[in-house]
Structure 1
Amino acid sequence: MVEEMNNEMTEFKSVETGDIVKGKVTKVEEKHALLDVGYKIDGILPISELSSLHIEKVSDLLNEGDELELKVIKSSEDELVLSKRAVDAEKAWGELEEKYNNKNTFEVEVADIVKGGLVVDLGVRGFIPASLVERHYVEDFSEYKGKRLTVKIVEFDRENNKVILSHRAVLDEQVERKKQDTLSGIKVGDVITGTVQRLTDFGAFVDLGGIDGLVHISQLAHHRVETPSEVVSEGQEVQVKVLGVDRDNERISLSIKDTLPGPWESVNVQAGAVVEGTVKRLVSFGAFVEIAPGVEGLVHISEISRRHIGTPQEVLEEGQTVKAKVLDVNLAEKRISLSLKEFEETEEPEPETKEHYQSDSETTTGFSLGDMIGDQLKKYK
């Protein structure tokens, strides 16, 4: 009889506070679960001890039959309280400390959206501040719940249960690696494709793949450009030629102009033609007139007007539209000679004829020329 009682007693485990035990879920309630851990009574797992994160109801995480590893946080003859959160935390802290020390990156799933950032379950609560989620500003984080992000630990404080994560740091490292790869591989003379990132008064910054190069305003086009927006826009894909690379200061000089056909290559004008253009510059010896983008012809001061002038400014002003006759074309030397004077001469009205005068006189007075001067002629006979 005594032996049977002893055998019955040995069927149950001896469980003490602090022990780590394995158990199977036997019942799931809204705010707790019951587990068989081999003790004489089922252990209770309160919802507060289920996870480091806020849980609405136990059934969100557990089902009957699930097997768990738990820590005994209270043990008595008639009560056994268990914690899954404590076991998870014990394991997590050691792993997280190693990742923090080694600056490892790893994936997490966003469990919740809270004011100021995102919450993840690491076995302990992990937090990604809003400013450390992306490299750009994010106004609405609602779509991030359930999303997986690659992060690294930027702040680790076990005593205060604080783990701060950053997805932005991972992105920054990727951009930096890409920038260095681009910077080390690029060389003067390369023609590559880039994207216009932003415009300034002095030019355009073009993304070459992790690093921006500058196209100075003078290198945007063959013709004079007043503002970069005349030629390019943000987001536009462009071909650029590398003019200079300063790896120490991470600066790259670019040219769009050098990838485009020169304006003189497409000039199709011959001597004797009449062209229209804009007066670009006035100098002491004449005026430069732009007859096509980037193509200027010279009107020598002697070809500006039929009357004598001392300076081109007496007749012309910059920005004025004029028509001129082409005197000479030398494409090899990129020179075109123009004449305003000869164009004016070609536009002269035809001189009025004798018949015209006779017709006008007859129409106006009713007398012929002979009638009007006939008497005068008789005096000399």
Structure 2
Amino acid sequence: MGSQQKAGVGFTHEEFAALLDRYDYRFSPGDVVPGTVFALEPKGALIDIGAKTAAFIPLQEMSINRVDNPEEILQADEMREFFILSEENEEGQLTLSIRRIEYMRSWERVRQLQKEDATVRAVVFAINRGGALVRIEGLRGFIPGSHISTRHAKEDLMGQELPLKFLEVDEERNRLVLSHRRALVERQMNKLETGEVVIGTVRGIKPYGAFIDIGGVSGLLHISEISHDHIETPHNVFSVGDELKVMIIDLDADRGRISLSTKQLEPEPGDMVRDRGLVFEKAQEMAQRWREKQAAKLAGLTEETEGAEEVAEGTEVIEEAEVVAATEEELAPATV
């Protein structure tokens, strides 16, 4: 019971009286009303909400979590909010729910967490063919297999607490989908930089590239980034378990993706195929060259942008008649 009062949903006697004074006594399903616990029973509790007959809350409606007896949630004379679940039965008794209030507030909290792009932690309580199940704010969440860390077998995650990011929060469809991989990638990305050389292990090979494990997260070494030479298939270059030096060429936190390259580390085109050891020996030197090129390219783009802004400011002062009379040749030098 105490957990509910600690959450700040209990009432003082004065607050309870004020709520009763405001309530018009027309009870309808979907209303949230104040009530006081009248009596505890093995399968539920009787609640006084000011109706002609004490309302009833079944055991299964006392919490979003499993409850074995009413004393876990309620105490005699406790005052709190209740959701009216159904209309009066033949005896004039209403059915109430706390679970529905918790359910609505839980969805509200996870929507806010998603909006903040928060990382949450939850324990895996079940594994199925498609992925893993966890509970977030009392709601059941699903982690697709494709969003579980490739470092662990799915079955090994049972009972483990995982960092997770939200992929989908849809109350209407009762869908709460999360990603373990994205949370790991984000955490790892905070330690990584574009242009950095890291050591990784080949965890999987596909026709389009190789997946490289770097510190517990997977990055893609696309076939086009293996070598300047044409590569027919990554299987001709790598085997699962190979340890490589790779350079990070892109970090996409929103999509949870890390793009890698060995091509940019080649001292000469094709060295990755002919002499992998030389590529790894010169990796830091080649990465430094790549970073310098990127910095120069960025500086060039900045200069172009600044030039375009200056041109735009200059053209604003040209009178309309001059613009109409200007020839294409006269405008060409001012066009970016």
For this structure pair, what is the TM-score category when the shorter chain's length is used for normalisation? 0.3 to 0.5
Point out the structure with max Rg over C-alpha: 1
With a CA cutoff of 8 Å and minimum separation of 6, indicate the structure with the bigger relative contact order. Answer: 2
Greater fraction of residues in strand: 1
Greater fraction of residues in helix: 2
Q: TM-score, normalised by structure 1?
A: 0.41
